[in-house]
């Protein structure tokens, strides 16, 4: 586990993806509840490895912070959260990378590995469809300079993180300007030997 950021009310960590052992899965079930742990195990192998790695990263980060764990339940739109609401968390994964944010206030996080696999022309079409005109122009300039999709990742991860902060789905925030109220933090760590773009979005202040 690599700590990307930590203060009195927010901690962000990153790690590589690996399929946990049976002991690891039991540890998750004991900490977060069997229903949540089994829901992650049932996914197809690649998705299960990413999801289980994210849950283990959450547990490790909680232990590092001394915040404690608890039963995890899913909300109306499927977002996982602690049943007693004692602390907030958000998890994201992309291929070989997984990131996690633990906070005393609502939070959302997203990660995208760079360079991206998609074709530059595809990213530009998506930017024109899902981002503001200013952001689409910035993506176009980035693709012209062969930035490997970094500008696209900056815009996309911000929307993913913001939608997770709200606890809803991505659809309502596509094509619109993101409000300036939430606090955004960005990181560019190397995870599992690859460069990643990470965006974390938090609401008002709060402590663990």
Q: How many domains does the chain have?
A: 1
Mean pLDDT of 170-180: 83
**157 falls within a domain:** yes
| Residue 176 binned pLDDT confidence (cut-offs 50, 70, 90) | confident
User: Sign of torsion, CA 11 13 19 20?
Assistant: negative
- Look at residue 208 and tell me whether its pLDDT is greater than 50: no
Element spanning 74, H or E: strand 72-74
**76 falls within a domain:** yes
Domain boundaries, position 181? 2-115+147-202
pLDDT tens digits for range 126-168: 999 999 999 999 999 998 888 878 999 999 999 999 999 988 7
- Residue 128 bridge partners (DSSP): none
**131 falls within a domain:** no
**174 falls within a domain:** yes
Element spanning 125, H or E: helix 120-130
Tell me the average pLDDT of the chain. 89
| Predicted structure pTM score | 0.91
pLDDT score of 99: 98
**72 falls within a domain:** yes
**CATH at residue 9:** 3.90.470.20
Q: Would you give the DSSP letter of residue 44?
A: -
Identify the CA nearest to 154 among candidates 196, 105, 91, 107. Answer: 196
**81 falls within a domain:** yes
pLDDT score of 20: 77
pLDDT score of 98: 97
- Look at residue 117 and tell me whether its pLDDT is greater than 80: no
Residues 6+ apart with CB under 8 A from 175: 129, 130, 131, 132
**47 falls within a domain:** yes
**138 falls within a domain:** no
pLDDT tens digits for range 6-37: 987 899 999 999 877 878 889 999 999 999 98
């Amino acid at each position: 586990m690599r700590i990307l950021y930590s203060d009195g009310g927010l901690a962000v960590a990153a790690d590589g993806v690996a399929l946990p052992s049976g002991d690891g899965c039991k540890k998750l079930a004991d900490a977060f509840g069997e229903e949540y742990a089994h829901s992650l195990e049932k996914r197809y192998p690649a998705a299960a490895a990413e999801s289980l790695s994210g849950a283990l990263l959450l547990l490790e980060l909680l232990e590092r912070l001394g915040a404690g764990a608890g039963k995890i339940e899913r909300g109306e739109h499927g977002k996982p959260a602690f049943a007693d609401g004692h602390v907030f968390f958000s998890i994201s994964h992309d291929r070989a990378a997984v990131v996690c944010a633990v906070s005393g206030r609502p939070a959302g996080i997203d990660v995208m590995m760079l360079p991206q696999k998609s074709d530059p022309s595809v990213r530009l079409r998506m930017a024109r469809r899902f981002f503001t005109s200013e952001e689409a122009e910035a993506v176009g300039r980035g693709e012209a300079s062969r930035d490997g999709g970094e500008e696209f990742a900056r815009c996309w991860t911000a929307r993913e993180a913001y939608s997770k902060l709200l606890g809803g789905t991505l659809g309502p925030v596509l094509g619109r300007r993101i409000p300036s109220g939430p606090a955004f933090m960005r990181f560019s760590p190397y995870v599992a030997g690859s460069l990643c773009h990470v965006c974390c979005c938090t609401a008002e202040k709060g402590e663990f």
